[in-house]
Amino acid sequence: MIAALVPAWAGCQAPATPVARAAPAVTSRWHPLGTWSGRGNRQTESFDVTTGALRLRWEARGEAPASGGRLQVSLHSSVSGRPLQTLVDHVGAGAGTAYAADEPRVSYLVIESDQEWTATLDEAVPATTIPDR
């Protein structure tokens, strides 16, 4: 008789709990802070760094002077004006990407060069992605 009750009891159980969906994944995306270009020296306007994760894409081009042409880009504090770190120190034509980590603060760039240059600064910010369902 007990064997006959087991199949009946199994049919009376509560329905299975649905499988929980995965939480959204947090990734990063690059948010532009500014793009600058020119020839010679320049101090950029201030920008607000909120996460501290920075990426500088740069290019030095054109005919370099007899000194070989130098591009130096440094990050400065807008509050004190002090240099925080040198992001690029390159001689001659070329291009590259420099990554930096700093504290969140208001900053600016000082660009020193005797040739044509471009610089684009981005900051890594959180980007949420919704998982597949």
The residues that bridge with 77 in the sheet, in sequence order, are 107
Q: What residue ranges do the domains of the chain occupy?
A: 38-128
Q: State how far the Cα of 111 lies from the Cα of 117, in Å rounded to an integer.
A: 9
Q: Angle CA(72)–CA(41)–CA(101) in degrees, nearest 5?
A: 40
Query: Which residues, 6+ apart, have CB-to-CB distance to 93 below 8 Å?
Result: 60, 61, 62, 64, 69, 115
Structure tokens at 110: 């000082």
Structure tokens at 8: 């009946």
> What's the CATH class of domain 38-128?
mainly beta
Tens digit of each residue's pLDDT, the chain (133 residues)? 555 555 555 555 655 555 556 666 668 899 999 999 999 999 999 999 999 999 999 999 976 566 678 999 999 999 999 999 999 999 999 999 999 999 999 999 999 999 999 999 999 999 865 555 5
